[in-house]
């Protein structure tokens, strides 16, 4: 069992707590205790051997547990299979855990949140500060004023709150002063080097530090361990078989990088220094290289095209023939206002010679062709380039692990071609023009349907759909052409979906009629049924019987369509279809685990759906991390997670209490949010 995940708001405080727990459990209670420091590699074999030799229950404490969640899911399954008695205690910050604990729900028995300081804790701390003469700037204030100042800071880590309350200075100033008080300049540079990379939450290899600064790990122990004690932490990385360095927290590392390297030129110099010494055969160095050189990272570092070119040149010189670096150089030229498409072409050709079967490079090449097409003035030349891009993208179908990015690029090409056809042709009714327009609308819809199941690209599909809808809506003639085509061939499912999408905001019933006509020929088409379900939902969110057909034909329990899973849970819960609700719930949980989907609540249900003014109920069960609410309108109790409730309200909840709440849904079913005590 996992008992419990400790969620904290500070970073070092949880580590101190875990180490103290490990010591007490081992020494005071004679338990068999293992402490897993950050980045420990968790494997089942040592636990099997330990249990075979001792026969005792094992207690495992895991620090920075959010980074180990996937391994822990696998380990818990293995522990159950081998019947090893074990108690696992996890700890991490609330921000780090986020939704990651969802995959361990079946194993978690208890949970604790170490949240902000309570009023009594603040008062007790102030008494201690008075007794020890440590009030600092608070001394000149009345007791009431002292409490007010400290309360305003109590949401922060305790050390930060204490410092800022008593010294009247923000944490950033403390960190800068701390840096400047390091006496050895080499120690300062070492600290800054580690901070530059640890801001990406990447450990820094001792080998990299040795190459960049000439400081071996043996030198660190002898010369720098004392001046950097408490600022840099070391551990052995068993994957690289090298020691690694970290700062206290990536946020601290980010502050140091910004405040010490406080000019763009200093930051550029630091990047150049590190890039010159990376060795991407090590996974941590490879990850550092990518985090530093991704287009977004470079753009955040500097808006200067020349400076970004300079850093990529430094990386290329240090690591020649690295296809990732060459590709990033090409992308920089492609995506920059003053970039050079010819240089991008040469770079991609060079990268392809090094890695001729790299799908990512071929996709980038297709994207370059589309960008060139957008930049040329000759319409015929642009059309030719887009055709080449489309041909290359289609040749990549089935070759990548996930075709979604390729199909999204095809959808964008189709939308662009539709836009140009409408813009460049005064007579859209001309037979060839009409034919091309209808073909491209169907092509765009086909690609949208394929890509919309992607978690990463889902929002992009929404954006491109909206763009296509706007293009068609802004030109009444194009909508009329689709309408005319549907009169002649009402069974065209993709045209029906596109037509409904383009007019539904103005003519919901007209769009629905097109869907219903297409459904006559394609009664089980998922996309048509999904569109019809949403059309019914937009007209009247009343969970009527007529929505059942398109809902069940619009998706299957094995489908990865997250939105439809949630719609099904929502529909069956409100209607009280317990059997169907449980079936969908089991399937949805598998989808959530497989796709690692966020469990943020969505799809609220208004009380008016059941002719009520508000959702109300009574708290029937409270655990540290969650609760259940009995609502007279539903057969099932409503789940409530502490992370979706105001902390003050959560702390005041008691069994039997009457509350008002909002009702939302995720892949785990009904969720009560925004609780208010009645």
Domains of the chain (ranges, CATH numbers): 2-114 (3.40.50.300), 461-590 (1.25.40), 602-677 (2.40.50.140)
The confidence band for 489, taking pLDDT boundaries of 50, 70 and 90, is: very high
pLDDT surpassing 80 at residue 625: no
Q: What is the largest CA-CA distance in the chain?
A: 91
Residues 6 or more apart from 674 whose CB is under 8 A from it?
644, 645, 661, 662
Mean local confidence (pLDDT), 514-536: 93
Mean local confidence (pLDDT), 491-504: 92
The C-alpha atoms of residue 456 and residue 598 are separated, in whole angstroms, by 12
The pLDDT tens digits of the residues spanning 112-145 come to 766 566 677 778 778 877 887 777 777 778 888 8
pLDDT surpassing 60 at residue 516: yes
Q: Which pLDDT belongs to residue 134?
A: 73
Tracing tokens 């095209």 back to the chain, one arrives at 305
The confidence band for 349, taking pLDDT boundaries of 50, 70 and 90, is: very high
The confidence band for 523, taking pLDDT boundaries of 50, 70 and 90, is: very high
pLDDT surpassing 90 at residue 415: yes
Sign of CA dihedral 313, 318, 322, 325: negative
pLDDT surpassing 70 at residue 639: yes
- 196 touches 260 (CB < 8 A): no
What are the C-alpha distances in Å from 516 to residues 490, 509, 533, 535, 567?
9, 10, 11, 11, 20
The pLDDT tens digits of the residues spanning 171-221 come to 678 788 889 988 888 889 999 999 999 998 888 888 888 888 888 777 777
Mean local confidence (pLDDT), 481-486: 92
Find out whether the peptide bond into 588 is cis, omega within 30 degrees of 0: no
Q: Which pLDDT belongs to residue 551?
A: 92
* 325 vs 186, residue with greater confidence: 325
The C-alpha atoms of residue 524 and residue 518 are separated, in whole angstroms, by 11
pLDDT surpassing 90 at residue 366: yes
The C-alpha atoms of residue 205 and residue 620 are separated, in whole angstroms, by 52
Strand partners, 669: 666
C-alpha count within 13 angstroms, C-beta hemisphere, residue 581: 19
pLDDT surpassing 70 at residue 576: yes
Q: Please name the helix (run of DSSP H) or strand (run of DSSP E) that holds residue 249, with its range, or none.
A: none
The C-alpha atoms of residue 387 and residue 436 are separated, in whole angstroms, by 13
Mean local confidence (pLDDT), 520-532: 92
What are the C-alpha distances in Å from 81 to residues 40, 78, 446?
23, 5, 44
44-48, 73-77, 489-493, 617-621: range with lowest mean pLDDT: 73-77
The confidence band for 105, taking pLDDT boundaries of 50, 70 and 90, is: low
Mean local confidence (pLDDT), 236-257: 85
The C-alpha atoms of residue 565 and residue 215 are separated, in whole angstroms, by 55
The confidence band for 7, taking pLDDT boundaries of 50, 70 and 90, is: very low
The confidence band for 96, taking pLDDT boundaries of 50, 70 and 90, is: low
pLDDT surpassing 90 at residue 623: no
The confidence band for 15, taking pLDDT boundaries of 50, 70 and 90, is: confident
The C-alpha atoms of residue 462 and residue 603 are separated, in whole angstroms, by 16
What the block records as the tokens of 581 is 């609700």
Q: Which pLDDT belongs to residue 163?
A: 55
- 603 touches 573 (CB < 8 A): no
Q: Which pLDDT belongs to residue 643?
A: 79
pLDDT surpassing 60 at residue 6: no
Q: Which pLDDT belongs to residue 114?
A: 66
The pLDDT tens digits of the residues spanning 443-472 come to 999 999 888 766 667 778 888 988 999 999
Q: Which pLDDT belongs to residue 602?
A: 84
- 369 touches 385 (CB < 8 A): yes
Residues 6 or more apart from 613 whose CB is under 8 A from it?
607
Q: Which pLDDT belongs to residue 152?
A: 66
Q: Which pLDDT belongs to residue 498?
A: 92
How much is the pTM? 0.67
pLDDT surpassing 70 at residue 8: no
Tracing tokens 């305003």 back to the chain, one arrives at 152
Residues 6 or more apart from 157 whose CB is under 8 A from it?
9, 10, 11, 13
Edge-to-edge order in the sheet of strand 233-237: 204-205, 242-246, 233-237
Grouping H, G, I as helix, E, B as strand and the rest as coil, residue 486 is: helix
Average pLDDT, the chain: 86
Q: Which pLDDT belongs to residue 141?
A: 82
Q: Which pLDDT belongs to residue 315?
A: 95
Query: What's the DSSP call for residue 221?
Result: I
pLDDT surpassing 80 at residue 279: yes
The confidence band for 11, taking pLDDT boundaries of 50, 70 and 90, is: very low
pLDDT surpassing 80 at residue 62: yes
Query: Which long-range contacts does 461-469 make (Cβ < 8 Å, 24+ apart)?
Result: 461/408, 461/411, 464/408, 464/411, 464/412, 464/415, 465/501, 467/415, 468/415, 468/418, 468/441, 468/444, 468/498, 468/501, 468/502, 469/501, 469/502
């Amino acid at each position: 069992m996992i008992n419990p995940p400790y969620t904290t708001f500070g970073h070092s405080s949880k580590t101190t707590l875990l180490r103290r727990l490990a010591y007490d459990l081992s020494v005071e209670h004679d338990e068999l205790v293992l402490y897993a420091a950050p980045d420990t590699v968790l494997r089942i074999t040592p636990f099997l051997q330990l249990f075979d030799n001792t026969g005792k229950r094992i207690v495992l404490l895991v620090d920075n547990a959010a980074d180990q969640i996937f391994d822990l899911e696998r380990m818990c399954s293995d522990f159950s299979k081998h019947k090893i008695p074990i108690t696992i205690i996890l700890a991490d910050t609330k921000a780090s855990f986020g939704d990651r604990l969802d995959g361990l729900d079946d194993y978690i028995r208890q949970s604790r949140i170490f949240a902000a300081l309570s009023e009594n804790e603040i008062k007790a701390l102030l008494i201690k500060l008075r007794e020890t003469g440590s009030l600092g700037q608070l001394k000149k204030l009345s007791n009431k004023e002292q409490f007010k100042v400290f309360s305003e800071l109590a949401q922060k880590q305790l050390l930060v709150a204490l410092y800022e309350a008593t010294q009247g200075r923000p944490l950033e100033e403390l960190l800068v002063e701390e840096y400047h008080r390091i006496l050895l300049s080499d120690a300062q540079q070492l600290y800054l080097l580690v901070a530059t990379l640890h801001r990406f939450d990447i450990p820094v290899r001792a080998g990299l530090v040795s190459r960049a600064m000439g400081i071996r790990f043996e030198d660190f122990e002898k010369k720098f361990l004392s001046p950097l004690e408490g600022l840099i932490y070391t551990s052995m990385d068993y994957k690289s078989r090298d020691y690694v360095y970290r700062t206290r927290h990536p946020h601290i590392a980010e502050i140091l990088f910004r405040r010490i390297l406080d000019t763009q030129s200093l930051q550029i110099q630091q990047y150049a220094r590190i890039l010159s010494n990376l060795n991407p055969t090590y996974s941590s160095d490879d990850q550092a290289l990518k985090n530093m050189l991704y287009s977004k990272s470079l753009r955040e570092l500097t808006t200067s095209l020349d400076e970004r070119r300079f850093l990529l040149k430094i990386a290329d010189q240090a690591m020649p023939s690295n296809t990732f670096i060459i590709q990033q150089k090409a992308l920089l030229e492609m995506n920059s206002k003053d970039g050079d498409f010819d240089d991008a072409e040469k770079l991609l050709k060079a990268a392809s010679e090094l890695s001729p079967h790299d799908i990512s490079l071929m996709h980038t090449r297709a994207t370059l062709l589309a960008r060139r097409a957008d930049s040329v003035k000759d319409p015929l030349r642009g059309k030719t380039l887009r055709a080449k891009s489309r041909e290359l993208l289609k040749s990549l179908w089935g070759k990548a692990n996930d075709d979604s990015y390729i199909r999204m690029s095809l959808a964008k090409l189709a939308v662009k071609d539709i836009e140009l056809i409408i813009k460049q042709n005064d007579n859209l009714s001309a037979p060839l023009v009409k034919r091309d327009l209808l073909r491209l609308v169907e092509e765009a819809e086909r690609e949208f349907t394929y890509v919309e199941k992607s978690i990463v690209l889902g929002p992009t599909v929404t954006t491109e759909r909206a763009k296509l809808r706007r293009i068609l809506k802004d030109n009444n003639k194009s909508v009329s052409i689709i309408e005319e085509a549907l009169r002649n061939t009402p069974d065209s499912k993709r045209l029906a979906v596109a037509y409904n999408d383009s007019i539904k905001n103005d003519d919901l019933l007209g769009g629905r009629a097109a869907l219903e006509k297409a459904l006559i020929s394609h009664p089980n088409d998922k996309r048509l049924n999904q569109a019809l379900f949403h059309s019914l939902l937009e007209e009247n969110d009343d969970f009527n019987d007529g929505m059942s057909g398109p809902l069940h034909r619009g998706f299957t329990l094995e489908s990865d369509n997250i939105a439809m899973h949630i719609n099904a849970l929502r529909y069956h819960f409100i209607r009280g279809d317990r059997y169907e609700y449980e079936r969908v719930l089991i399937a949805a949980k598998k989808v959530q685990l497989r796709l690692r989907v966020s469990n943020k609540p969505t799809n609220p249900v208004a009380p008016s759906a059941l002719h009520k003014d508000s959702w109300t109920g009574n708290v029937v069960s409270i655990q540290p991390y969650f609760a259940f609410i009995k609502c007279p309108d539903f057969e099932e109790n409503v789940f409530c997670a502490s992370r979706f409730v105001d902390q003050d309200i959560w702390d005041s909840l008691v069994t039997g209490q009457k509350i008002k709440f909002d009702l939302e849904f995720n892949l785990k079913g009904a969720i009560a949010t925004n609780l208010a005590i009645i």
